């Protein structure tokens, strides 16, 4: 019975479904943002979509979870640090690098996130992983290289590399900070606070950029913004934080290996970019790597009633 329970824990549960759904939405959003940046600056677009997404999350949290619990003391600083890592630094590096290179290169660098998170947990003796997990993580990284390398992306400047490296580093910090807060706040409430605080941090940069480059507001641009704000910010924050609470940061981050291939598929379906056979092979290898490299769920404590 114990062995059967352990196998079930390693299977595909509700938390996995939530994280995969968020990853699919993010994969499509890379193409959406790339299209939207033709009519606006990266920081302006990021600031607008996070303000709208944060307001939507706060409204949902108040409707479904009641009045928002006000962070105090250490929690306020932790939420500010989480917002700075997961929103300000992550989105600034993502949007800035995406404006200078193509989505394939960005996806390649973001593939380092699972190894960063798992490496940190092992170094701090917070979790221990079997050889099968490490093999799966390595296989997933090979799949990322095949998917992205087949596209043959180009760099406009080597300055893009350190800018893009801030993306997986900041997301790893974000994932490692979340468990400290998930035991005290419900997912929607926490997502609302983190997104709003991060949006406030982004607004000054977006405003300065908008003074030099006014966004060209059109019907298609508003549609792209609606997807980026309501789906890729509000909905995914809710799904992802719920998934992290049930799975823990190590198992959650493994699914980010799927995003590069999902982005390639989205680009093929939405803007007609060709999907190459080597990319399909890489996608299969990534799926195998994710299946092998998923650690056991490490649930966080349930949020307090108050």
Q: Which of 19, 301, 53, 92 is nearest to 194 (CA)?
A: 53
**pLDDT class of 300 with cuts at 50, 70, 90:** low
Q: What is the pLDDT of residue 207?
A: 92
Sorted by sequence, the CB contacts under 8 Å of residue 62 that are 6+ apart come out as: 68
What is the C-alpha to C-alpha distance for residues 242 and 297, in angstroms, rounded to an integer? Answer: 13
Residue-averaged pLDDT of the chain: 81
Report yes or no: 101 and 110 within 8 Å, Cβ to Cβ: no
Q: What is the pLDDT of residue 245?
A: 84
What is the C-alpha to C-alpha distance for residues 101 and 96, in angstroms, rounded to an integer? Answer: 9
Q: Which sequence spans correspond to the domains of the chain?
A: 14-293
Residue 184: alpha-carbon gap to chain centroid: 22
Share of the chain above pLDDT 70, in %: 85
DSSP state of 155: B
pLDDT digits (tens, 9 = 90+) for 35-57: 898 888 888 999 999 999 999 99
- Phi/psi for 274 (5° steps) reads -70, 145
Q: What is the pLDDT of residue 79?
A: 94
Put simply, whether the predicted model's pTM sits higher than 0.95 gets the answer: no
Q: Is 178 helix (H, G, I), strand (E, B) or coil?
A: coil
Residue 5: alpha-carbon gap to chain centroid: 30
| pLDDT above 90 (res 262) | no
Residue 137 parent element (H or E)? helix 131-149
CA atoms within 13 Å, Cβ hemisphere of 13: 22
Token pair for 69: 């619990």
Report yes or no: 106 and 164 within 8 Å, Cβ to Cβ: yes
pLDDT digits (tens, 9 = 90+) for 149-161: 665 555 555 566 6
The whole-number average pLDDT for the span 88-103 is 76
The whole-number average pLDDT for the span 16-45 is 89
Q: What is the pLDDT of residue 24?
A: 92
The whole-number average pLDDT for the span 209-237 is 91
**pLDDT class of 306 with cuts at 50, 70, 90:** very low
């Amino acid at each position: 019975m114990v062995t059967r329970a352990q196998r079930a824990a390693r299977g595909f549960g509700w938390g996995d479904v939530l994280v995969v759904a968020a990853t699919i939405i993010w994969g499509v959003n890379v193409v959406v943002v790339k299209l939207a940046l033709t009519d606006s600056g990266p920081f302006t677009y990021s600031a607008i979509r996070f303000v709208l997404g944060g307001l939507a999350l706060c409204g949902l949290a108040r409707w479904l979870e009641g009045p928002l619990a006000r962070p105090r003391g250490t929690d306020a600083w932790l939420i500010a640090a989480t917002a700075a890592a997961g929103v300000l630094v992550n989105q600034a590096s993502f949007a800035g690098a995406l404006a200078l290179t193509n989505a394939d290169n960005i996806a390649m660098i973001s593939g380092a996130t699972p190894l960063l998170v798992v490496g940190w947990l092992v170094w701090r003796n917070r979790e221990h992983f079997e050889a099968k997990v490490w093999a799966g993580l390595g296989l997933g990284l090979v799949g990322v290289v095949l998917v992205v390398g087949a596209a043959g992306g180009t760099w406009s400047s080597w300055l893009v590399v350190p800018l893009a490296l801030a993306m997986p580093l900041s997301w790893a910090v974000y994932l490692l900070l979340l468990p400290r807060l998930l035991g005290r706040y419900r997912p929607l409430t926490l997502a609302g606070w983190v997104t709003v605080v991060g949006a406030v941090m982004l607004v000054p940069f977006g405003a300065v950029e908008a003074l030099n480059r006014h966004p060209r507001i059109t019907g298609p641009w508003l549609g792209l913004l609606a997807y980026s704000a309501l789906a890729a910010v509000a909905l995914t924050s809710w799904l992802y934080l719920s998934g992290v609470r049930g799975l823990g940061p190590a198992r959650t981050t493994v699914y980010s290996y799927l995003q590069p291939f999902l982005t390639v598929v989205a680009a093929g379906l939405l803007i007609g970019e060709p999907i190459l056979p080597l990319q399909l092979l890489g996608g299969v290898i990534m799926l195998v790597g994710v299946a092998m490299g998923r650690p056991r769920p490490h649930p966080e404590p349930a949020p307090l009633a108050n």
